A and B are shown apart, each in its own frame.
Chain A
Amino acid sequence: MRFTWMCKEPRSTVSGRSKLKISIIGAGPGGLAAAGYLACLGYSVEVYEKQPLPGGMMTFAIPKVRIKDETVLIGVEELRDKFNVVFKTNTKVFGNHEPPKDEGDHFIKNTVNLKDIVEQSDAVLITTGTWQSRRLKIPGENGPGVMSAVEYLYEIRAWEKGLLDHHPHVGDRVIVIGGGLSAVDAALEALEQGAKEVILAYRRTKKQAPAGIYEINSLIRKGVKWMELVSPVEIVRKNEKVKGIKLQKMKLGEPDESGRPRPIPIPGSEFVLEVDTVIEAIGEIATPPLVNNFLGIKLDRKNRIIVDEHYRTTNPKVWAAGDVVTGPSFIGNAVKTGLYAAKSIHIHLSNKLL
């Protein structure tokens, strides 16, 4: 990915720009796309990233059969070596007194307060994505053998890069709960890693699954077992270990707020399925590096950063883009909002230079 697709080398002629510092928090597709645009224009760009390597979900969650690390990292190296973008990896940014625990926090060596970054920069862009997952909140959930799709994929991708010394948990009989892109990717990865049986369970039908009929059918062709109209009620453990999952059958009712038919539990239909690993892929939540109202930055009820049409937050020095603003979406959405946010920063700083 050539994040500097719009130029051959940084523009050195525009006086003053290289003295302006733009800090970007989070090196996923949104942050990297913005870094490319701003580096092309000749600004000095610093990127804070909690992982040892940039790329976000592209390098730490999405299976490598879909996106290869090299494709992303070639572009990162170019940003660093040719465009002098500074990457501060293994560094977690936070915006209150105690850094919160998110997923994928394994490699943090430093923590930096957002307040200091904002003070020392001419503009700040937040692109920290969605590094927390919704949980089922059912009995037996806490303990080994149960994890979110991001946690599951994250360890596998970290291990592939030689970043972990222990082999990550793969499981023999794996059930994935959910019907979206993360669920599909977790099921695909479990198969790739050699799990003996992989089940994908969803509470509505294939037709309503956000991942789409095509993706699910292609998983079925690869050997994944598809179960629809079921919802988990309990995880069965014996001596700590996961032994199975109790599922309840569902039927479809009237459309709910989402416009899709509401799944209604069928009383007395519970049954236990023997599994040793449960992967919850029921949605990710925005993880801004701050609490609501810190530095005047406002969050909405889903923890997403509130921005105006130019991706500017309620703090005039701070912009935000990508999934931390929109909630879980697509790489292209992060790239697009990251670029438009960067353009807005550029317009703002150009006015300042005049």
Chain B
Amino acid sequence: MSQQPGKIVYLRFIDLDKCIGCYTCQAVCDFLHDGRPFIKVYETEIGLRTPLSCLHCSKAPCIEVCPTGAMTRDDTGAVYVDSMKCIGCMACLYACPFGIPELDPQLRVATKCDLCKPLREQGLEPACYAMCPAEAIVYGSPQDIGEKIKKRKAEMIIRARTSGPMLE
């Protein structure tokens, strides 16, 4: 069992109140990974479409159970698979509460969202964040995200309180 390495410098948060279920995040992720998106929009029984991807947990159970240390964190805090170390045992999938890690059938290793590590290394942003038309995907330091989301919720509460019968 490995220790939880690294600091959390950047986080991604998906604001489901803002999400319009448009599949754009999935589309760019699909394109980037040749038809295998690591953020996917699921249509639930009540017809609500909701994106699901790795949450890059701060105390990630997938890292805890990984016997080889392949599941690890990069220096910004993103959880990713070091495919050289991975033996494809999928213990991470058993441990993940959201069923996120997948087996890459060709490479026979676990694979998952790495918040666009190759793009970030060139100074770019995760693609889903860059392209979401509803600004539902937020990416930044944990503090900034906390502030941004709280501000949005405050707007929502005020909107709900001042619309409809309250103004009549």
Contact = CB atoms under 8 A, between A and B. Distances in A.
Given A7-B124, A332-B23, A339 B133 contact: no
Interface in B124-168: 124-125, 127, 130-135, 164
A6 interface: yes
Interface in A311-354: 330-333, 335-336, 339-340, 343
Contacts of A68: 135
Contact of B23 (A67, A209, A212, A330): A330
B27 A335 contact: yes
Given A212-B47, A212-B48, A214-B47, A1 B30 contact: no
A339 B35 CA distance: 12
Nearest to B24: A332
Contact of A332 (B27, B44, B47): B27
B125 to A, nearest CB: 7
A1 B129 CA distance: 8
B41 A67 contact: no
Contacts of A340: 31
A223 interface: yes
A71 B28 contact: no
Given A215-B47, A332-B22, A336-B27, A2 B133 contact: no
B122 interface: yes
Contacts of A2: 125, 130-131
Contacts of A335: 23-24, 27-28, 131
17 contacts: A1-B131, A1-B133, A2-B131, A5-B124, A5-B125, A7-B122, A29-B133, A67-B134, A212-B43, A213-B47, A331-B133, A332-B25, A335-B131, A336-B26, A336-B28, A339-B27, A339-B31
